[in-house]
Structure 1
Amino acid sequence: MLKKLISLFIVLMLLFFVISCKDEVLPKPASQLRLDYPVAKYAHFNNHCPFEFEMNEDAVIKEDKDCGFSIHYPKMKATIYLTYKTVDNNLTGLLKDAQKLTYEHVIKADDILEQPYLNYNKKVYGMFYRVNGNAATNAQFYATDSLKHFVTGSVYFYAKPKFDSIMPAADYVKNDMQRLMETINWTQGR
């Protein structure tokens, strides 16, 4: 009888060790998408329009009407839209329109940061807006010489705005747009 109990005990112990040595099943943690973008390389862009600028070489530019441009970022599903207006005793109205366009996003935005830009040598004066939160655009700007030229720019993504998920792409394009604004040079009517 003792032999049977010892044998049963050994069998149960072996069975216990075999069963307990299985890998424990644990749920996998949610993965995070890692978005790495190449270091931006900039190229000079000019044509018949009265201004020129630098833009990312990886972007694709398309001229729209009246010296407006669409600068597409296919990998990021984003576009920077540039519009050009001639200043003709309407600078105050152009400034109000540019500011109104930015502050229409205040409903969805967490905050809007204004960064003035002044380049007296090139006669380029403007404002760069960083829009934080789930707004349709995360950056806008205007630039002018106060006498003849007025350019506005805004970036839009072709995705429902979820600030956290598009932040790496948004920061990349925002930096490109700021570089574009800071390299504007008037080519006519200086």
Structure 2
Amino acid sequence: MKKYCALFFAIWVLVSCGEDVKPKPKGQLRLEYNSAKYEMFVSDCPFTFDKNTVVRIKQNADCGLELHYPKMKATVYLTYKKVNGDLEKLLIDAQKLTYEHVIKANDIAEQPYVNLRHKVFGMFYQVGGNAATNAQFYATDSTRNFLVGSMYFYAKPNFDSILPAADYIKNDMKHIIESLKWK
């Protein structure tokens, strides 16, 4: 009996001498989106821009727009203001809106935008981390028009989870500012 126990123990030691078993990592959701296709958005508002064809637009009073991305559960809010000698205040308010997210943000990257041909001047902000918004911008012609854009998701911010959708919408927001024309 001792021989069988010793033999069983020896076989067990030889068979079990492999690599440690490690649990598999959790699967990650892979989000891919079709390439963006754009069409010009024209309304009674004093500006036009190219919008993604997947966007549903809701127009509010005073030319405020909501660009809904139903599959991504996100909205880009565009707020229009007429400049009445208060450009400095509008710029401060737009910058303040962005920097309110500094508490949750890992970083905020600023990218100036200048289009002399169409008189569009602005700033594009990329907000890294678990902030409520991942991108914002403002654009102005410096004399009459001022437009602010902000992206928000319908869920608690988790930067890693929303990164593919946030990048897709950031590209759309950049396209908006690049195609923006004042009437």
Task: Report the TM-score when normalising by structure 2.
Answer: 0.88
Aligned to 1:165: 161
Q: In the alignment, does 2:35 pair up with 1:70? A: no
Is residue 40 of structure 1 aligned with residue 41 of structure 2? no
Residues 51-77 of structure 1 show CA distances to partners (whole Å, capped at 9, x for unaligned) of 000011011111011001000001001
Aligned partner of 2:18 in structure 1 is: none
- What is the CA distance between 1:32 and its match in structure 2? 1.0
Residue in structure 2 matched with residue 55 of structure 1 by the alignment:
51
Q: Which runs of 5+ in 1 are unaligned?
A: 1-8
For 1:184 and 1:54, how far apart are their aligned partners in 2? 7
Q: Equivalent residue for 2:109? A: 113
CA distance in 2, matches of 1:149, 1:29: 51
1:99 is paired with a residue whose SS is helix
Question: Tell me, which stretches of 5 or more residues in structure 2 are unaligned?
Answer: 16-20
Structure 1 residue 29: deviation in Å? 3.2
Displacement after TM superposition at 1:83 (Å): 0.5
Match of residue 127 from structure 2? 131
Q: Does 1:86 align with 2:89?
A: no
| Identity in percent | 63
SS of equivalent to 2:50: strand
- Alpha-carbon distance between aligned partners in 2 of 1:66 and 1:179, rounded to the nearest angstrom: 23
SS at match of 1:55: strand
1:178 matches 2:174: yes
Task: Give per-residue Cα distances to partners, 1:150-170, cap 9 Å, x unaligned.
Answer: 000000001111101110000
Counterpart code for 1:179: H
In the alignment, the residues of structure 1 paired with residue 96 and residue 22 of structure 2 have an alpha-carbon distance, to the nearest angstrom, of: 52
Given the two structures, how large is their TM-score scaled by the length of structure 1? 0.85
Paired AA for residue 180 in structure 2: I
Q: Deviations over 1:2-60 (max 9, x none)?
A: xxxxxxx9xx99xx9xxx8xxxx974431111001000001100111100000110111
